A and B are shown apart, each in its own frame.
Chain A
Amino acid sequence: MATKILIVDDSKLARMSVSKLLTSLRPDWTRFEAASADEAIILTGREHPDVILLDFNMPGTTGLELAAQLQQSHPHIPVAVISANIQVEIVERAQEAGATFLAKPLTSPDLAAFLDEAQARLSVTRPSVR
């Protein structure tokens, strides 16, 4: 079963940018996109993504708040919060919510490192996922 990844960002350009990196790093993964936390929650319930990438600064529920919710509802899903806002407090809050913090603009090595780590976690918790 192909690994499913959900990209959550209110900016289409930002989703395109992440999507482009994923095309080169994990071409066989299935991608889903959501433009808000609400959409992300619907898609998570419907599509059961294995990995989730969240933008921090979104109108309504922020990526950090969503990461904290997901930690409660789906603790097995590796989550990364992506933001250009590299303040210590934000990085720490992402980590408290069990998420990995990635700086925006997202670079290929940073995303690759997170995906490797996520895959290592998935191979333990969901061995059927590749």
Chain B
Amino acid sequence: MNAHPAVTLDDLERDALTELVNLGVSRAAASLATMVGNEVLLAVPSVEIVSYERAAHLMGERDPGKLVAVHQSFNGDISGGALLIFPETNSLELVRAITGGELPLEDILALEQEALAETGNIVLNGCLATIANMLQRTLKVSLPEIVYGSAAEIFNNSMLSGLSADDGAVLFLYINFSVRHRAIQGYIAMLMDLPSLVALRGLIGSLILRTSDDASDDRNSNHAVH
């Protein structure tokens, strides 16, 4: 997690951040499940503070093939980019799932861009809105943009805009998902720069304080295993 020495999160901050991402992604998965009419299976999210180069490498390592991604940037107290990523070969299957599978191939092809953008918009906005609400902040989210290429290309093309990567460290979050009974799998990735990470740590600190307000009175709590 704290592979970059410039920023550190303590255990509870890291726990809170992972839980925050989990909440956002779970809500987003529920929206995606409604759209595709099948259950969406989620992995446990991964949260890392790494160098920008390492994050780009991690993206490429996870999926070496051709990918399609929906990218949206967000701005506010924290700024960064969010991506919904699929292997390019899954893209038409996704459109088919969303449109109900009745359409001929040419219509599916014509709808591909629009369907991807809308799916990304709903999933990424759902995720970011949940996180913003939990942090009691407002995030401005850009319109969705479709990016094709290898993981590293997508990462470099979409994520660099608006990020201050000068100091090297970025917060890199990702989570795998798949759609039951459909050949659709992908992942959601989020990237934030160092100034955002510092702000985020402050917001997470406030969230922890709000949560621990009364619970710090642990007279009735028995941590029998820990």
Contacts and interface: CB of A to CB of B under 8 A. Distances in A.
Interface of A: 10-14, 16-17, 19-20, 23-24, 27-35, 39, 42-43, 46-47, 57-59, 83-90, 104-105
Contact of A87 (B22, B29, B217): B29
A90 B213 CA distance: 31
19 contacts: A13-B19, A13-B211, A16-B208, A20-B212, A23-B217, A29-B220, A30-B222, A31-B220, A31-B221, A32-B222, A33-B223, A57-B22, A58-B44, A84-B22, A84-B26, A85-B42, A86-B27, A87-B34, A89-B33
A104 B15 CA distance: 16
Contacts of B211: 13, 16-17, 20
Contact of B26 (A42, A59, A104): A104
A83 B40 CA distance: 14
B12 interface: yes
- Secondary structure at the B interface, as helix, strand, loop or mixed, is helix
B214 interface: yes
Nearest to A92: B39
A88 B33 contact: yes
A11 B19 contact: yes
Given A13-B16, A85-B30, 17 more contacts: A10-B44, A11-B18, A11-B19, A13-B19, A16-B211, A19-B218, A23-B214, A27-B220, A32-B221, A32-B222, A33-B225, A35-B226, A84-B22, A84-B130, A85-B26, A87-B40, A105-B23
Contacts of A87: 29-30, 33-34, 39-40
Nearest to A85: B26
A13 B12 contact: yes
B223 A12 contact: no
Given A23-B215, A23-B217, A59-B44, A90 B39 contact: yes
Nearest to B18: A11
A29 B42 CA distance: 33
A81 to B, nearest CB: 12
Contact of A12 (B15, B30, B213): B15
Nearest to A24: B214
Q: Lowest 8 A-B CB distances belong to which pairs?
A: A84-B26, A85-B26, A11-B19, A20-B215, A89-B39, A19-B215, A13-B16, A87-B33
B220 A12 contact: no
B27 A84 contact: yes
A17 B34 CA distance: 28
Contact of B212 (A16, A24, A43, A89): A16
Contact of A86 (B22, B24, B30, B212): B30
B26 A57 contact: yes
Interface string B196-224: 00000000000110011111011011111
A40 B190 CA distance: 32
A21 to B, nearest CB: 9
B134 interface: yes
A48 B226 CA distance: 17
Nearest to B19: A11
Nearest to B40: A87
Contacts of B207: 13
A90 to B, nearest CB: 7
Contacts of B42: 57, 85
Contact of A84 (B23, B218, B222): B23
